Amino acid sequence: MRLNLSVLNAVERWFNNIAKRPALAVTVSILWLILIGWIGYGWHLGSIGLVDETEPLFAEASRQMLVTGDWITPFFNGQTRFDKPALLYWCQAIAYAVFGVNEWAVRLPSALAAMGLVALGFYTVQWSLAKKDDLEQVTLPTRRYLTAAVAAAVMALNPQMIVWGRTGVSDMLLTGCMDSALLCFFLGYATSGQQAGGRRQEAGGSSELFSSSSPPTPHSPLPNKWYLACYVLTAGAILTKGPVGIVLPGIIILAFLLYLGQLRTVLREMRLFLGIIIILGLSIPWYALVIWRNGQSYIDSFFGYHNVERFTEVVNGHSAAWYFYFVIVLLLFAPYSIYLPLAIFRLKFWQRSHWRNQERSQQLNLFACIWFISIFVFFTIAVTKLPSYVLPLIPAAAILIAFLWSDLFPASEQTSKISISYPSSLLQLSSWVNVIFLSALAVASFHIYNLLGYDEAAPDFRQNLQDAGLPTISGWLWLVAATFVAFLILRRYWHSIIAINLLGFVVFLILVIMPAMFLMDQERQLPLREISAVLAQVKQPTEEVIMVGFKKPTVVFYSHKNINFIPSTEKSLEHIRNLANQEVKPPSLLLVTNKKNFFKMDLSPDNYENIDIKGAYQLTRINFKKMKQEKVKLS
């Protein structure tokens, strides 16, 4: 069905001028990627302290690697840490060596992984559309560059990517390696298809700006450069999070090739046996060394508990209903998630013969769809569920959204009309749902005080949000965005709707999310950093430090001291009693807890000294010398 669309002639002329000046096109593309990368991942990256409890576990284990020089076995708090492989620890330790031990260095590998993935996503989408221009014998720079720009922006600027791209844990590095490997596979697959079809670009053609070099000859012992990059990045994914780094890409690529009936042909092109040697050669040495050094304990902990059991059983209480990831994708890929059903429907993936007859370079849409569905289904089946598990499907979702919007750009140079392959009523319906969703966000923002739960570690956070006026700013922001989208629907300016969603999210990030993060850090994490600084100063060489009732690994990172984490006041009292009743007792013990747990312990005032209180936390010294063995009051 054809729709009338008013295209801004100035924008069209601007993009045509860019196409005629390749150096300018490259410059503008790089500046765009730098801008969205800085907004999403560079701005205030190290201005907020580490967030308990996973981030400081990685940060401290990496610091221990740098301090001890042991780059094989990760340690945290004096104990081995076998949760994840070594690649992120290595990256963070190198960042420490270059930039010092600080929050910025902790998060730098995640931020770089996110920005690198976004840049490769931009390249892949632009390259695919350049090949489409060649096939259609047209030059449509507006479609190429705007679609690639939308793909990069949607990929970079969504809650899920920003949360993990600004956090020093392994999820974003895994996603960066694994999803980049998938994009490299597609580029290798598509360029090999070019050679098989005997197609060559003409020198000086407009689509050469981001073109790939020619693949190797059919008799070459090596796969093309993109397949090689895919193998190297897959090894990186394995070194970041283990077997899932090859299992998920394998499932996606296998499903894609089986669907197209290209399995044998492409596996030959990939030189799969050589690829397996490359992957194993890069990833296995560290696993061999860590198993040689730690034996069965590493195998049981990493492969057994952190891989097999997480898929087959509930680990650490992280269970959820079957629809959990529907909610996660809806909220953490907001506000673009509303258009995902339409973006998938427009592909008509059930028309297998259509896709099998498409040029390889034009199958990126289908590849992204299979990529998205495979990861979604895989983790829906898994018993243990966490929001970060579906992070690797977000780039695929961004590509799907971008290609949905590419339909709204002119299909030729001679017309300002667009042609879409689905009923226009579906686009209207999705857009009105977009309005409803943004309106719901506005209502939720105005009532955020009642929606947020009480946090005893940050008891005044909700009130601080209210006093700062952030709920009001957020509510009006999303209400204005909903109004603009409704106006664009009524005027049928479909191409501008995605811009409103992107702009709304960026303003929300700058005016609401970032100030809220500073407020949360000031109340929840700053007291722990202050307690850590005091602890580092007052701790005596032989003095034990215990933390009672909760686990805050940030204290280990910021104090550089080992902490004995004790989950309950009852067990802590038993531990203190045992120390007090020893024949050779230690002179004292440092206790980190909150006021509630401290009062529950009911210690005798004669036996302790309050050193400092910061926020909800306090540091206390228990003096065993003042205790009498027969009259220790610890009940």
Residues paired with 566 in a beta bridge:
548
- What confidence score (pLDDT) does residue 412 get? 54
- Mean pLDDT over residues 439-464, rounded? 89
What mean pLDDT do residues 505-528 have?
A: 95
Strand pairing of 418-419 and 564-566?
Answer: unpaired
How confident is the model at residue 628, as a pLDDT?
A: 60
What's the whole-number mean pLDDT along residues 377-395?
91
Supply the pLDDT for residue 241: 92
Name the residue among 130, 127, 108 with its Cα closest to residue 119. 127
**Residue 111 is encoded by which pair of tokens?**
């931020």
Please say whether the beta carbons of 579 and 607 come within 8 A.
no
Share of the chain above pLDDT 70, in %: 87
What is residue 500's predicted lDDT score, i.e. its pLDDT?
95
- Do 482 and 442 contact (CB within 8 A), yes or no? yes
Q: Which of 369, 371, 378 is nearest to 401 (CA)?
A: 369
**Per-residue confidence at 317, pLDDT binned at 50, 70, 90?**
low
Query: In the predicted model, what is the mean pLDDT of the chain?
Result: 87
Residue 4 has pLDDT above 50, yes or no: no
pLDDT of residue 560: 94
CB 347 within 8 A of CB 365: yes
pTM of the model: 0.91
Query: Looking at the predicted structure, is the pLDDT value of residue 9 above 80?
Result: no
Q: Which of 191-195, 214-218, 573-577 has the lowest mean pLDDT?
A: 214-218
Residue 13: exposure state from Cβ atoms within 10 A (0-12, 13-18, ≥19): exposed
From residue 537, alpha-carbon distances to 256, 530, 594 in Å are: 59, 11, 20
pLDDT surpasses 70 at 305: no
Q: What pLDDT does 194 receive? A: 66
Residue 283: pLDDT over 90: yes
pLDDT reported for residue 421: 74
175, 379 Cβ separation under 8 angstroms: no
Which of the two residues, 296 and 21, has the higher pLDDT score? 296
Give the residue, 164 or 302, on which the prediction is more confident: 164
Contact 359, 131 (CB under 8 A): yes
pLDDT tier for residue 359 given thresholds of 50, 70 and 90:
very high
Give the best-scoring range by mean pLDDT among 58-62, 357-361, 449-453, 537-541.
58-62
pLDDT digit string, tens, across residues 156-198: 999 999 999 999 999 999 999 999 999 999 999 999 866 655 5
**pLDDT value of residue 404:** 94
Q: What is d(CA 135, CA 362) in angstroms, rounded to the nearest whole number?
A: 10
DSSP class of 352: H
Secondary structure (3-state) at 205: coil
Q: Looking at residue 136, what is its pLDDT?
A: 81
- Residue 61 pLDDT more than 50? yes
Instruction: Please report the pLDDT score of residue 408 as a whole number.
Output: 83
Cβ proximity of 374 and 252 under 8 Å = yes
The per-residue pLDDT for 304 is 65
Phi, psi of 217 (to 5 degrees): -70, 160
Q: What is the pLDDT of residue 606?
A: 78
Residue 295 reports pLDDT greater than 90? no
C-alpha–C-alpha distance, residues 182 and 187, integer Å = 9
pLDDT reading at 529 higher than 70: yes
In this prediction, residue 301 has a pLDDT band, given cuts at 50, 70 and 90, of confident
Most confident of 452-466, 507-521, 578-592, 608-622: 507-521
Residue 413: predicted pLDDT: 53
Rounded Cα distance between 140 and 218, Å, is 32
Select the more confidently predicted residue: 74 or 218: 74
* Contact (CB, 8 A) for 138 and 156: no
Per-residue pLDDT at 91 exceeds 90: yes
pLDDT at 401 over 70: yes
pLDDT of residue 313 exceeding 90: no
Rounded Cα–Cα distance for residues 59 and 553 (Å) = 10
- Say how far apart CA 577 and CA 592 lie, in whole Å: 17
Residue 212 has a pLDDT of: 45
Q: What is the pLDDT at residue 202?
A: 40
Residue range 406-442, pLDDT digits in tens: 888 765 555 556 667 788 889 999 999 999 999 999 9
According to the model, what pLDDT value does residue 154 have? 97
Q: Is the pLDDT of residue 47 over 80?
A: yes
pLDDT in tens, 548-561: 988 999 999 999 99
pLDDT at 316: 59
pLDDT (tens digit per residue) in 487-500: 999 988 888 899 99
Distance of alpha carbon 477 from alpha carbon 483, whole angstroms:
10
Tokens representing 125? 């989408």
Secondary structure of residue 552 in the 3-state scheme:
coil
Question: Two tokens at 582?
Answer: 């020893």
The pLDDT assigned to 318 comes to 63
